[in-house]
Amino acid sequence: MIKIRHIQSDEIAVAKQLIYRVAHQVFHDTRSLEESIAFYEARGQLHDMDDLQQTYFGNDGIFLVMTDDDQIIGTGAIRKIDREICELKRVWLLFEYHGQGLGYRMLQELLAFARAKGYSRMRLETDQKDQHRAFNFYKRLGFHEIPRYRDNEDDVAMEMVL
DSSP 95: G
46 close to 16: Cβ distance less than 8 angstroms:
yes
Note the pLDDT of residue 156: 94
* Count of C-beta atoms within a 10 Å radius of residue 132: 12
Q: Single out the residue of 53, 58, 52, 162 nearest to residue 112, CA to CA.
A: 162
Residue 59 burial (C-beta neighbours within 10 Å; 0-12, 13-18, 19+): middle
Pairing of strands 85-93, 121-126: parallel
Note the pLDDT of residue 129: 79
CATH class name, domain 2-117: alpha beta
CA 145, distance to chain mean position in Å, is: 18
Note the pLDDT of residue 128: 81
Note the pLDDT of residue 160: 97
8 close to 15: Cβ distance less than 8 angstroms:
no
E-strand ranges in 94-155 read 121-126, 144-146
Note the pLDDT of residue 18: 96
Note the pLDDT of residue 151: 75
158 close to 140: Cβ distance less than 8 angstroms:
no
What DSSP line would sit under 40-69, residue for residue? HHHTTTTGGGTTHHHHTGGGT-EEEEEEET
Note the pLDDT of residue 157: 95
List the chain residues with pLDDT less than 50: none
Note the pLDDT of residue 127: 85
Q: What is the value of pTM for the model shown?
A: 0.93
Question: What is the C-alpha separation between 137 and 124, in angstroms, rounded?
Answer: 12
